[in-house]
Structure 1
Amino acid sequence: MIVVNDFMFCKQHGSEYCHLCTCDHRDGNNHVLDLYNVFADNVEESGFSLEERTPLNAYSHGAVPVRRGSEDYKCTTHGTKDCERCFDWVGIVRREVQEAETQERWLERRRRYFERVDRD
């Protein structure tokens, strides 16, 4: 396991949820940054599930060891250990929650439209 800016990932693949390593760090990561409270209103309104959110991958966000054999990780863009810009996990999850809310509103508008059309 590796830790990048407080989030846990499988070391071999860099994934929060890895079926190959049989690990799922999403729930632990949600608790580490208190995402259940941060997004409480959003989750309730949209029906978004933090437990089922899209797993993040540290390596796809540019995480590399600070030096060979190090347990600390930096970003490839800025060379900063636990870079808050590249590894802004709350911001990344926030965007996914907002997309779910947008999708939910669109589906609701579509449902109302079809109800009107079906009455005519």
Structure 2
Amino acid sequence: FSTQDGAATLTELTAATVAAIRSHLSEPPATWLVAGGGARNPTLLRALAARLDRPVLSAETVGWSVDGLEAHAFGFLAVRTLRGLPLTFPTTTGVSAPACGGVVFDPS
């Protein structure tokens, strides 16, 4: 398999994963906003739009920094992990119990 095949597979997997969360929403958003590196990936944006049946836009179109938003999201997840708090819940992702995102390794 080629690098291009791998990238295409990961792009489709990402779009399918995002589309799968719709069943956990009380109603779908009118417009989906994408942040992070994916917001600059036109292939991903098209794949999301095809699966979500709603407009899919870069968060920059509403004045948000796609890099800043991604950094804030990872910071939020990091703080919850450091405090031993769960990152996902049965009501948000369907996990059987609240779950954390892993462990912090201290090399000292």
TM-score norm. by structure 2 comes to 0.26
Say which one has the larger Rg. 1
Structure number with higher relative contact order (C-alpha < 8 Å, ≥ 6 residues apart): 1
Larger helix proportion, structure 1 or 2?
A: 2
In terms of fraction of residues, the more strand-rich structure is 1
